[in-house]
Amino acid sequence: MMQFRVLSLVLAFVWLPTAHAELVEEVIVAEDFLGDFYGGEEMIELATGIKTQIHKAPAVASVFNAEQIKQMGATDIDDVLEAIPGLHVSRDSNSYLPVYSFRGIRSRYNSQVLMLVNGVPITNNFTGNRNQVWGGMPVEAISRIEVMRGPGSAIYGADAFAGVINIITKNTDDIQSNQVGLRAGSYNTKDAWLALAGSNGELRYSAILEHHKTDGLERDEKYPAQPFSLMTTNTDFRGEVSYTDWIFRLGYQLRDDNGNGAGIVEAPDLASRQKSQRINFDLNYAKNVTDNLELNAQLAYFQTSQRVKNQYILYPAGITLPNNLVTGDMSGGGVHFPNGFIGNPEVWEKHKRLNITANYTGFSSHAVRVGAGYYNGDLYRVRETKNFEIQQDGSLLAYPEVIDVSDTELVFLKETDRDNYYIYLQDVWSFANDWELTAGIRHDDYSDFGSTTNPRLALVWATSLNLTTKLLYGKAFRAPSFADRGNINNPASLGNPNIQPETIESSELVFDYHPLDGVGMVVNFYQYSWNDIIQFSPTSGVIGLVAQNLGKQSAYGSELEFNWTPTRNFKLSMNYAWSKAENKTNNTDVALVPQQQWFAQADWQMTDALRLNFKNHLVQNRLRETGDDREQIDDYWLSDLTLRWMPKNSNFETRLIVKNVFDADVREPSFISGAGINIINDLPQAGRSFLGEVRYQF
């Protein structure tokens, strides 16, 4: 019924009078109206690589600037991403890693989502995600978050599959005054940050240092027998120096003494700790060679690690496991591990990128963008210590002590690398008044699995002064991870060197409508087909499960966004997403992802000094996996409240943040693990919590 009402409303909008403006003054009024609605900063670069007004962009996208992020009480990017229609932030049991599910597309490692920092991917090749020791990302250094739903491989290549998230960091323009801040609250959380900026002629510089420490959720309060280890200790640095046509950025992230959530294999392990160190820099050059030609060049480097600071006790001391992990043979009493079943896999990677682009507007009615680049991803170090050996037939052997098997045939993954050469072309063609066609294509050639070509088309029609209509089409691919291709010594999941990329093909219809000053809505309808999904399945002649291109998923759905600003002091934002995703392998609805989501946020300037933000998130209709006989996952309604005090003529500002105001029992689904379910009561999320904050500008 809800979908029928939305469709009826959209059809009504389409049939409204669409007389075009004949006077220049009318065009100016329209641009001013849209500028007021979206805000002067509501430009997006993510959709085309060129800054474009978001309502004209050939994509479905959302943008949050630093002020919006602060006002909504966000302390981590996940607090912002949950406000995106069609995007659900779930959790994995391992370290409670965030899983960003766009439109029903979900996998354990979440490798179908590309995250960028200032346009540079931060994907790890080991599992294809952002890092197994992620630890979150704070927001004080963030100027903007741009999110594009749908395929983006025609611009960004690998893994721009279900969606793309671009984190844009602050520069000198964003830091008008130096600032220091402190925050503390529930779960023994302590945060501190320092932001500095300055300039000397054409030399401009900025630096932001952040530190975060929390004990996190320690125990399931409803089922206290299940402990969790969610402590984190994070240090983040972002710096930028610019001079004339050059920009240099540097980033450093340390994740130290971090817990592993519900356990690496979903068995409690409160003593183990994880560590990750990530360093990135990019050097950028931009030059307007002529009035019609702009050249850009970027050199980027990213180094990342996933380490075990205190060894993983995969199963507790005294555990007895089968003689054969494939057959489950327990003859002779099984294999006993008096000190626990211990395994410590560690990886180090470095990524190098060179990208050159040219934007040319000298052709009549055309804006052409062409680019080429090179990428090298190098898994240059693999280390593993353990007290067991799994043989090729699945037999399990116990070692009397933990031994180092690095650089031997017993290691879980061999050191390897991949090269990628790519070229892309994009044309934005204004072929008629109020009509614009964006066509793009990108070809990628990989050294380890071959080549892939991905096109996109987007037709944008300024239907009237108040309505923009978009028709979008795109293809994308997800590159196999090194684990997909090279896992060894683990019959539970063996790599396949012949595995091919996953692919997706998507189409979408969008209506962006603003009938009145301060009132606007966007509604879209989409469908996609996800093919060659990599799954681990039995293979003839091989013991254990092998990575194969077997899965297929299709989906259709709709998303509705509504914004209303009745007065200058009050704004209401709402969105609704409905998705029908089907697993075509067994013709069942896709499990674990919400079929419906609602989000509502009220922002009220109560007095000159006091501002309130109240946001609500309703998640509905998540199904269990096939074979999981537990009751269906409960829906939840989560509410957060932020009070912000900003006295005039003062350098101080304070915030009170209350998360989960009504102390709802929020849970994300646990998986079927092997033949059973290890976490019966699912993954609990934090209950009501409080954070107090003070900022000082100087």
C-alpha span between 184 and 31 (Å, rounded): 43
What is the structure's pLDDT at 490? 78
What is the structure's pLDDT at 39? 38
Largest CA distance in the chain: 90
Q: Are 247 and 298 in contact (CB under 8 A)?
A: no
Q: Which residues pair with 573 in a beta bridge?
A: 563, 601
C-alpha span between 289 and 51 (Å, rounded): 19
Token pair listed for 187? 């779960």
- Residues contacting 78, CB < 8 A, separation 6+: 89, 98, 136
Residue 395 CB neighbours (<10 A): 18
Whole-number CA gyration radius for the chain:
26
What is the structure's pLDDT at 22? 35
| 287-319 b/e (C-beta count within 10 Å ≥ 16 → b) | eeeeeeebbbebebebbbbbbbbebbbbbeeeb
Token pair listed for 621? 């209709």
Count the alpha carbons within 13 Å of 142 in the hemisphere toward its beta carbon: 25
What is the structure's pLDDT at 21? 34
C-alpha span between 70 and 181 (Å, rounded): 13
Question: Which domains, ranges and CATH numbers included, belong to the chain?
Answer: 2-163+177-697 (2.40.170.20)
Token pair listed for 693? 């904050």
pTM of the predicted model, to two decimals? 0.93
Residue 28 per-residue DSSP state: H
The type of residue at 319 is: I
What is the structure's pLDDT at 45? 84
Q: What is the mean pLDDT of each run of 10 residues along the chain (698 residues)?
A: 39 35 36 40 78 88 96 97 97 95 95 97 96 96 97 96 97 96 97 98 98 91 85 97 98 96 88 95 97 97 96 93 87 92 96 98 96 98 96 88 95 97 97 96 97 98 96 98 93 88 98 93 98 89 84 97 96 98 95 98 97 98 94 96 95 98 96 82 95 98
C-alpha span between 69 and 441 (Å, rounded): 34
Strand 467-478, strand 502-516: pairing: antiparallel
C-alpha span between 27 and 515 (Å, rounded): 15
What is the structure's pLDDT at 24? 35
- E strand map for 326-434: 335-337, 341-360, 366-390, 396-404, 416-432
Residues in the chain: 698
Query: Please, what sign has the CA dihedral across residues 25, 29, 31, 35?
Result: positive
What is the structure's pLDDT at 226? 82
What is the structure's pLDDT at 405? 97
Residue 486 per-residue DSSP state: H
Residue 491 CB neighbours (<10 A): 22
